Amino acid sequence: MSQTVQCVSPIDGSVFAERPILSLEAAKSAIKNARKAQKDWAARPLQDRIDLVRAGVARLGEMSDQIVPELAHMMGRPVRYGGEFRGVDERASYMADIAAESLAPMVVEESDRFERRILREPQGLVLVIAPWNYPYMTAINTVAPALIAGNAVMLKHASQTLLVGERMVAAFTAAGIPADVFQNVFLDHQTTADLIADRQFNFVNFTGSVGGGQAIERAAAGTFTGLGLELGGKDPGYVMEDANLEAAVDTLIDGAMFNSGQCCCGIERIYVAEPLFDAFVEKAVAIVSGYTLGNPLNSETTLGPMAHRRFAAEVRAQTQDALQKGARALIDPALFPQDDGGAYLMPQILVDVTHDMRVMRDESFGPVVGIMKVKDDAEAIALMNDSEFGLTASLWTQDVTRAAALGAQIETGTVFMNRADYLDPGLCWTGCKNTGRGGALSIIGYQSLTRPKSYHLKKA
């Protein structure tokens, strides 16, 4: 009997979707087909590949009426927020726009005696292991530029968003991309590790937990397979005394709570200058107290369940740890009777927090945020850097020079000023420390998905 993978809906705990897992032999057969198809795909003119990827993205957008309720069922995002097509289109379109320039030959010399240049060739077969929290946008970060660059792509999606890979492949295939060039696969962890260890892929891009990234690295050890790893985060916000208070509160609290806090670059800890602290906290509590927790299929719901009850259990454990160590919870549980002790989790704001508490150190990935008062920039920098993660940091000030100077001291992948929780496709999406390694999107994304080949041609 073949094994299956299930998506259990956070709405009611029922099995929403189930698919059979590929055996190792079946996976290798699919890989063989992909490698064969990749050669012809890479031989096509770049503009053809760009046009087909753009068409695939457009087809995906036409599926929104189907995709939006599916996302609600699979991972709990309220339907009122729509799907992810806007972000998918922005990222894919930008990578298509810069493809010709990013992949153009670097000409060192073209004279009567020599031609010397560096070309970029596709890696070959790229495995994309995508997460459930923004399942379309995170996948497109690699899928679109990998295909444009001439790679074949295999997409292994998270079990929580089981149908996403099928939808993406269906859209791109309908647009004209050959079926073997872009494949959706259902694999268990062991088969995935075995395939990586057997050098079946030329590049692996993984977005997920630190533990998952470590497992990918162990599987790839000694194979020299290229890896891109976007792992955990504990992104800070720092509100300085000259900040626009209203904008800072609105943006940072939204960054902490949107999608039930399940955002890769969501805000998980906030540091506020003493003069603004009380006003910031008061406004933050008012915003969060106005949320509506409930079934994500209902249009009035602003906060859906977490994607799985075990994720909610971790947030509750962190919150309880903080309370036991002296933190104060400011959101009244009476406002959120829908909190069922399972996947439906009320939002919470904590003050009197310290870095001795898990909620200020461990990745929460849920609707809870701790807010601390700081006396100056030096204290804020020390606290922001007191983390094993480094994805983004959000700085709030009217002084660009000050923000840039502080940003140079922060151990992070992206520095924001007066915004948060956003991925700019023109900039490299990267991190440091336990957040992982490598870079996606921008011209650097193409460098990861291709390899350089040098030509030194001496003329007779």
Q: What is the pLDDT of residue 460?
A: 82
Measure the CA–CA gap between 14 and 167, rounded to whole angstroms. 21
Residues 162 and 245 in one domain: no
Q: What is the pLDDT of residue 2?
A: 64
Residues 6 or more apart from 264 whose CB is under 8 A from it? Answer: 131, 133, 134, 138, 207, 230, 233, 391
Question: 439 lies in which domain range?
Answer: 4-231+435-458
Phi-psi bin for 8: left (phi > 0), alpha (psi -120 to 50), beta?
A: beta
Closest CA to 127 of 10, 28, 46, 51: 28
Beta bridge partners of 414: 392
CATH number of the domain bearing residue 180: 3.40.605.10
Residues 50 and 150 in one domain: yes
The distance of Cα 297 from the centroid of its chain, to the nearest Å, equals 24
Residues 178 and 253 in one domain: no
Any domain includes 429: no
The distance of Cα 57 from the centroid of its chain, to the nearest Å, equals 18
Measure the CA–CA gap between 47 and 93, rounded to whole angstroms. 13
Residues 20 and 77 in one domain: yes
Cβ 196 vs Cβ 220: under 8 Å: yes
Any domain includes 430: no
Residues 398 and 374 in one domain: yes
Structure tokens at 325: 């160590």
Residues 199 and 250 in one domain: no
Any domain includes 85: yes
Any domain includes 29: yes
Residues 288 and 213 in one domain: no
What b/e readout covers 322-332, taking b as 16+ CB neighbours within 10 angstroms? bbeeebebbbe
Which candidate in 70, 84, 230, 363 is catalytic?
230
Tell me, yes or no, if the pTM score tops 0.95.
yes
Cβ 365 vs Cβ 311: under 8 Å: yes
CA-based R_g, the chain, Å: 23
Cβ 187 vs Cβ 21: under 8 Å: yes
Residues 386 and 398 in one domain: yes
Q: What is the pLDDT of residue 357?
A: 98
Which candidate in 264, 268, 363, 428 is catalytic?
264
Residues 134 and 239 in one domain: no
Active site residue 230: yes
Q: What is the pLDDT of residue 348?
A: 98
Length of the chain: 460
Tens digit of each residue's pLDDT, the chain (460 residues): 469 999 999 999 999 999 999 999 999 999 999 999 999 999 999 999 999 999 999 999 999 999 999 999 999 999 999 999 999 999 999 999 999 999 999 999 999 999 999 999 999 999 999 999 999 999 999 999 999 999 999 999 999 999 999 999 999 999 999 999 999 999 999 999 999 999 999 999 999 999 999 999 999 999 999 999 999 999 999 999 999 999 999 999 999 999 999 999 999 999 999 999 999 999 999 999 999 999 999 999 999 999 999 999 999 999 999 999 999 999 999 999 999 999 999 999 999 999 999 999 999 999 999 999 999 999 999 999 999 999 999 999 999 999 999 999 999 999 999 999 999 999 999 999 999 999 999 999 999 999 999 999 999 8
